[in-house]
Amino acid sequence: MVKEKECTSCKKRIINDPSSVSFTCPNCLEVIIIRCGECRKKAIKYRCSKCKFEGP
């Protein structure tokens, strides 16, 4: 499991960010949403690449 993760919102690669989170899209439950600590702090929206669901 060395696949690099990148933030869904800003596309920043997440290397060692303990405040980053990843979760499945609450709408379609098929896409993994990844958010870096920065985007969480700024409450930047994410958008699911599959169903276009937007969330805070």
Smallest separation, CB 2 to Zn ion (Å): 20
d(CA 30, CA 13): 21
Establish if 14 lies at the interface with Zn ion (CB under 5 A).
no
Contact 48, 27 (CB under 8 A): yes
Establish if 9 lies at the interface with Zn ion (CB under 5 A).
yes
Establish if 48 lies at the interface with Zn ion (CB under 5 A).
yes
d(CA 55, CA 8): 11
Establish if 49 lies at the interface with Zn ion (CB under 5 A).
no
Smallest separation, CB 1 to Zn ion (Å): 21
